Structure 1
C-alpha cells in the first residue's frame, strides 16, 4: 500500500504493508483469506436481516392505510430501499470498483467518501440502532413468541376461557442465555449457516401467517377492508404515521449492507454481486410483505391485530400457531447475531488498536471442541459480548413496551442510513456536479424521505407517551 498518507477526507491513515500472500490463490488483495460469499449467501443474509417478526405487523399497517395506500407504500419503500442499496454497494470500494481500497464497514465507507463530523453521526446512529433497535427489540419479540407457545398450550388444555397468564421474564432470560452462546461465534463470515437457517424460518412463519389468512378468507367468504383504511380521527392519524414507520423499518438493512458485501468473493466485482443479491432479496421480501399484509387485511379488515398470528386465537389450530412462533424464535436467534456483529467487530477492533499489547484483549486461547473442531477463545470477546447480551436482556425486561420505542428508533434510522448517507456518498464518489439534473433528483429523493421520517417520528412519539402512562417495569405478563 506504500507510505503513510494523509487524505483530506480521511485524515491520517496508517498504511499496513500487505503480506506476500496478498492476491494469491488463498488471499485477497487486502491480505485477508479469500472471501467465499456468493449472490445466494448474501441474499440469505439480507433476508435474515430484513424479514423479521415485523412482517406480522404489516396487516395492521395495511389496515391503517387501506387497500390503496397500504400496498402503494410497501412498493414505494421497496423501490427506495433497492435503489439506495445499489448506491451504497457502489461505495464498498473507494475509487476503482475492482481494485480500489475496501471499506469494511458502513462507517469506513462514510469516512472514505465524506469524512469529518458525518463519520461520528453515522457511527452514533448505526450503533445505537444496533443496540436499541435490534438487540432489545429482537429479545422482546422472541420472548413474546415463547410466551405465545406457552399460552396456546394452556388454552388447549384448559379451554379458551382459562386465564393462562404467563410472565415473560423467564423466556427473556432464556433467549439471552442462548445469545450469549451464539455471540461467541468470532466473525461475520462464519454465520453463513445461521443466516440460512434464519432465512428458512422467516419464510416458515410468514407462510403460515399467509396460509391462515387465506383460510380465514375462504371460511368467511368475504374480503374485508376498505379503500382508505380506518376513519381519520386524531389518534388514528398518529397510527397511520406509525404504520408507515412499520413498513419503512421492515425494509431497513442498510446498517449491515457493507458488512455483508465484505463477505463476497471477486471477480465479478463485489458491487455487481451485491446488486444482484439486493434485487433477489428485496423482490422476495416485497412479495412476502405484500401477500402477508394484504391477505391479513382481507381476513381481519380494520380489526387486524398488531401481530397477525394472534388474530387466529391461541388454541385453534394451536399446533400450527406453535410452529409459527417457534420459527420466529429460531429466526430471531440468527437475526440477532447477523445484526449485532458489526457492533461487536467495531468494539473489538477499537480495543485492539488502543491496547495492542494487552494479552487480555489480543490473545486467543486455542482448544478443541468435540465434533466442531478447534476454537479460538478470546477473553475480551467473551467478557464484552456476554456483558452486552446481559445488558440488552435486562433492558428488555425493564421496558416491555419497547416495540413502540423501536418504531421511533427505526424511523430515526431510516432516513440517515438508508437514504441520506448512501446518496451523499454516491454523489461524492461519482463526483456528480452540484445542481445537475442527477444531483437534483437525488436530493429530492432524500428530502422526500426526510419529510416522511419526520411524520413517522411524530406518530412514534405519540405511541411511546401513551405506553408510559401504564408502564410497569419487570412486570410484563400476557
Structure 2
C-alpha cells in the first residue's frame, strides 16, 4: 500500500506519496518490467530519429572530399554493412532457451546481449565502447544544435539590419547552455519506452529539414556559374592522386568517419527492440523496422549528400544548411535550422537513455537499502491531471550527465572533426564486431566454413576502414587544438 501525505499548493492539492511495488500484473511483462507497447512504426521512428541526426548535415562535405565516384559508393557500403549486421544483432535479442519451443530470456540492452553470448571480458569492452560512443554522440548533438540556433539568430539579424556586412556575432556557448537546460528537463522522462512520442516528433523534424536541404540544394545546383564537383574529389584531381599532399589524405579519411557517424545507431538496436510488444515475435518486427529505417535514411543521405555536392561543388560546407548563408529565402533556411534543433533535442534523449538506465540499475542492485536511490515519490498534479514519479538519485545523476556533456561540447566545438572521430571509433566495434561475434557464438558457425570466412572478412574490412577514419579525424582534431582557445570565440 502506498504511504502518502497531502500538501496544499496554490490552485489545488498536490498529493505526495511513496510508491511500493504494484500487485497489478496487467501493467507488467512476464519478467516484472513495465508492459511493452512498441510497434513496427514506433521502432522505425526510433531508428530514423537515431540515424538521421547531425550526421546528415556533413554528408555533402564528405561526398565533396570523396568525389562523385567514391562518395555515393561509400554511403551505400556503410548502409549495406549496417543493415546486414543489424539483422544479425536482432537475432541476439533473446538468449537461446533450453527448450527450442520456448522463447529465451530477453536481453534488455546491448550490454546484456554481449554478456549472454560472449561472456564477461567482452562485456567490459562493450561497455567502454558503447557508452563512450553514446556520450560522444550527445556531445556532437549539442554542438550541432548550437550551430543551428546561431544560424537562425544571424539570419534574423542580417534580415533586420538589411545588410550582410552587419555585425551579428552570436556565441554558440549561449545556445549550448540553453540546449543543455532543455535536455535537463527532458532527461527526467522515465525510460526508453516513454520516448515514443518524442521520437515521432523528431523523425518528422528530420524529414522536414532534409527535404528543405534537398530543395535548397536543387535550387542552387540549377544556378549557373559554379562547379558541380569532380569525379575524384580530393582523392584524384588533374591527373594526380591526393594533389594536396598528406593533408588531403587526412581529410578523405575524416570524411569516411563522418559517414560512419551518420549510421551510428546499432548501439541502440537492442534497446529499441526491447520496446516492442510481443506477440508478434520481436525479432521479425525489428528486422522489418530495420529495413524501413535504414532504407529510408539511406535515400535521404544520398539525396542530401549528392545534391549538396552538386550545389556547392568542392567547396561544400561542413554543415549543409549553414552553407546556404543567410540570404533569401532567409526564413526557409531559418525554419530548416529550427527543425534541426527540435530533432536533435529528441535524438539526444534516444541516445542518453541507455546510459541513464545502466547507471540507475547498477546503483539499485548495489545499494538496495539506500533510500535516496530506492525511494520513488509520486506527485499528483490535479490541475494538469497527471502524475509525476520523482526520484532524487535520478534527478541529480541525469542533471549531472547533461551538465558534463554540455561542458565537453563547449571545450571541443569542432563539428566535422568530432563527428568523424566518434563515427570512426564506434563503427567497427558496435556495428560490426560485436554483432558478428554474437551471431557466430549463438548460431555455432564453424571456423573456416564459407559463412565464417565471410563474416570475419567483413569484420576485418570494417576494422581497416574504422582505423583509417579514426587516424584522419584524430589528426584533424590535433590540428584544430593547436590554434583553439577554450571558451573564446572570434567575432
Q: TM-score scaled to structure 2, two decimals? A: 0.90
- Of 325, 328, 334, 1:313 maps to 325
* 1:372 to 1:282, Cα distance in 2 relative to 1, 3 A: farther
The corresponding residue for 2:153 is: 150
1:115 and 2:141 are equivalent in the alignment:
no
1:205 and 2:209 are equivalent in the alignment:
yes
Q: Distance in 2 between matches of 1:48 and 1:476?
A: 31
Q: Which moved more, 1:331-340 or 1:134-143?
A: 134-143
Q: Distance in 2 between matches of 1:120 and 1:138?
A: 26
The corresponding residue for 1:422 is: 435
Superposed, which structure 2 residues align to 1:237-276 within 5 Å?
Answer: 237-276=249-288
The corresponding residue for 1:392 is: 405
- Of 124, 134, 139, 2:137 maps to 134
Partner of 2:175: helix, strand, or coil? helix
Shift, 1:191, TM fit: 0.5
Q: Distance in 2 between matches of 1:375 and 1:426?
A: 41
- Of 328, 331, 339, 2:351 maps to 339
**Maintained 8 Å contact 2:149/2:341:** yes
Partner of 2:222: helix, strand, or coil? helix
Partner of 2:478: helix, strand, or coil? helix
In structure 2, runs of 5+ residues without a counterpart are 1-21
Q: 1:146-172: CA deviations, max 9, x gaps?
A: 111111111112211113111122111
Superposed, which structure 2 residues align to 1:44-63 within 5 Å?
Answer: 44-63=45-64
* 1:59 to 1:146, Cα distance in 2 relative to 1, 3 A: same
Shift, 1:312, TM fit: 1.4
**Maintained 8 Å contact 2:154/2:168:** yes
Q: TM-score scaled to structure 1, two decimals? A: 0.92
Partner of 2:37: helix, strand, or coil? coil
Partner of 1:228: helix, strand, or coil? coil
Q: Distance in 2 between matches of 1:153 and 1:170?
A: 17
Shift, 1:227, TM fit: 1.1
Q: Distance in 2 between matches of 1:208 and 1:137?
A: 22
Shift, 1:468, TM fit: 0.7
1:300 and 2:312 are equivalent in the alignment:
yes
* 1:384 to 1:20, Cα distance in 2 relative to 1, 3 A: closer
Q: Distance in 2 between matches of 1:372 and 1:352?
A: 30
Pairwise CA RMSD: 1.7
- Of 473, 477, 491, 1:460 maps to 473
- Of 314, 322, 329, 2:341 maps to 329
**Maintained 8 Å contact 1:397/1:476:** no
**Maintained 8 Å contact 1:136/1:396:** yes
**Maintained 8 Å contact 1:137/1:403:** no
Shift, 1:138, TM fit: 1.0
The corresponding residue for 1:363 is: 375
Partner of 1:163: helix, strand, or coil? coil
Q: 1:185-242: CA deviations, max 9, x gaps?
A: 1111001000000001111111111000011122328771111112412211211111
Q: 1:414-465: CA deviations, max 9, x gaps?
A: 0000000000000000011111111110000000000101110110111011
Shift, 1:26, TM fit: 5.0
The corresponding residue for 2:452 is: 439
Q: Distance in 2 between matches of 1:20 and 1:334?
A: 33
The corresponding residue for 2:395 is: 382
Partner of 1:376: helix, strand, or coil? strand
Partner of 1:30: helix, strand, or coil? coil
In structure 1, runs of 5+ residues without a counterpart are 1-18
Shift, 1:387, TM fit: 0.9
The corresponding residue for 1:3 is: none
Q: Distance in 2 between matches of 1:428 and 1:134?
A: 29
Partner of 1:102: helix, strand, or coil? coil
* 1:184 to 1:60, Cα distance in 2 relative to 1, 3 A: same
The corresponding residue for 2:10 is: none
* 1:372 to 1:287, Cα distance in 2 relative to 1, 3 A: farther
Stretches (4+) displaced over 4 A: 19-22
**Maintained 8 Å contact 2:144/2:415:** no
**Maintained 8 Å contact 2:428/2:459:** yes
Shift, 1:477, TM fit: 5.1
Partner of 2:103: helix, strand, or coil? coil
**Maintained 8 Å contact 1:210/1:292:** yes
Q: 1:315-364: CA deviations, max 9, x gaps?
A: 32110111011111101110000100000000000000010111100111
The corresponding residue for 1:10 is: none
- Of 248, 259, 264, 1:236 maps to 248
Q: Distance in 2 between matches of 1:325 and 1:402?
A: 15
**Maintained 8 Å contact 1:57/1:307:** yes
Q: Distance in 2 between matches of 1:298 and 1:176?
A: 35
Q: Distance in 2 between matches of 1:121 and 1:277?
A: 28
Shift, 1:268, TM fit: 2.1
